Structure 1
């Protein structure tokens, strides 16, 4: 496509990437359940700097994801794709995601393929189509846009198996990988210690991931279920934290409120 105009597609620097480059902690959240056009803005209004929309466990279609990404303002919208595959990755980026998360990354070869599918030539083999959702429907300097798209959107690779953990240093060394993200339940399942998050082997695995990220100038990420867990992770060198997910945050807040209402009600009788 060679048609151009004086309009310019979005080519701002990623606020999340800039914050991490400055050594700052970045906090966002996951969305699994509430596929409402307001959820991204609600998260942003609460202080989330990024929102990860999950396509691995939800069954959401790309049409649903497209609406969620398009209506997220103030926070960067990312998509966790359901698999390692060219179509899954390119479609997530083409609907406008500013980052992709890929589950079960276990090798250098897999990480290199993910990067290749996420980036345009000469850095990768992402298919080219412009003036669409990912570039704000703007017809402009497509070459300049591809340069931006090859440097700003984040690539998050999940370390959640013993094979991935064994290869974590090599995965971190792959150019284009930005974040090593621990999938804690899957990792403990793979390690034979399901759900034992106080186990010394699991804690050592966290340190191994953080060390690999640090040694290669990358970042370590995690979905924390509580502020206490988040603080533990930050102390271990994690700098990208998703605080909970929509359904659990809602349920926990509702439960706490209902318990308090019942408690005060009994106290006044």
Structure 2
């Protein structure tokens, strides 16, 4: 088993992105099983992006999943339901290496999220040490606070017309680490639901990528399948969540069942 600490893994995400130019892993909304982190780590993924916004999963479930990632070389990231302090700070306390916040629309909102994610003097996160976020280890609090700031990723979702209008200001906030397009909500907000070939939407994603890169930050996207993944990689996105867990399983199972039905239709060889 790797002896890499969770602190090293997350700072390693930054280094790996700089060295290799991309980070990849699944988004998980359904299968919060004890073995999931090890299964994902075996694929060579860089991270697992857990969803709390739409899954109904709570903090108790997330804490178990984050713990399961320790020592595996796969970083736990989580989308919280909203950007309030008690979601952002608690997720980091439980061991998340990155927190994604939906529906970020203004610079002021981004600044509040960053403040919730960081200890003083960079924010207002409450102090608790020797717990999950620092692997229950001893050490000087000042060093732990420094390590936390270097490790933790603040991911702001741009998924409304207002967020798109203000994306340059959001991207410029110190402590916002990643801009992430929420494509379904963005098209809904723009009045073009699910029209992912619409010129206004395509201009929008170009605007997000440009704002992120102009500020030295990566852009992220959740791709439903390999076609989406290739297309959005070419659009310039640096961090790609590949598929939702249940859809990947459903597709693989559907392919297998269709194959078996074909064999049944052919019948067994006689004799």
Fold agreement, TM-score > 0.5: yes
SS at match of 2:154: strand
How far apart are residue 21 of structure 1 and its match? 2.1
How far apart are residue 121 of structure 1 and its match? 1.0
Q: Do the aligned residues in 2 keep the contact of 1:41 with 1:74 (CA within 8 Å)?
A: no
How far apart are residue 268 of structure 1 and its match? 4.2
Which whole-Å CA distance do the structure 1 matches of 2:222 and 2:109 have between them?
Answer: 23
Q: How does 1:80-229 map to 2 (within 5 A)?
A: 80-229=79-228
How far apart are residue 23 of structure 1 and its match? 5.2
Determine the structure 1 residue equivalent to 2:51. 54
How far apart are residue 27 of structure 1 and its match? 0.7
2:41 alignment partner, one of 41, 44, 53 = 44
SS at match of 1:128: coil
Q: Do the aligned residues in 1 keep the contact of 2:11 with 2:150 (CA within 8 Å)?
A: no
Structure 1: runs of 5 or more not aligned: 1-8
How far apart are residue 216 of structure 1 and its match? 0.4
Can you list the C-alpha shifts for 1:60-101, whole angstroms capped at 9, x where unaligned? 121111001110232100111101100100110000000000
Q: Do the aligned residues in 2 keep the contact of 1:55 with 1:80 (CA within 8 Å)?
A: yes
How far apart are residue 255 of structure 1 and its match? 0.5
Which whole-Å CA distance do the structure 2 matches of 1:128 and 1:39 have between them?
Answer: 30
**CA RMSD across the alignment:** 1.3
SS at match of 2:243: strand
User: Judging changes above 3 Å, is the alpha-carbon distance between structure 1 residues 18 and 45 closer, same or farther for their aligned structure 2 residues?
Assistant: same
SS at match of 1:65: helix
Determine the structure 2 residue equivalent to 1:35. 32
How far apart are residue 205 of structure 1 and its match? 0.9
Q: Do the aligned residues in 1 keep the contact of 2:104 with 2:159 (CA within 8 Å)?
A: yes
Query: What stretches of structure 1 move > 4 A for 4+ residues in a row?
Result: none
Q: TM-score, normalised by structure 1?
A: 0.94
My pick for the range that moved more, 152-161 or 12-21, is 12-21
Q: Do the aligned residues in 1 keep the contact of 2:52 with 2:79 (CA within 8 Å)?
A: yes
Q: Do the aligned residues in 2 keep the contact of 1:11 with 1:145 (CA within 8 Å)?
A: no
Between the two proteins, the alignment pairs up a number of residues equal to 261
My pick for the range that moved more, 45-54 or 100-109, is 45-54
Q: Do the aligned residues in 1 keep the contact of 2:82 with 2:102 (CA within 8 Å)?
A: yes
Structure 2: runs of 5 or more not aligned: none
SS at match of 1:79: strand
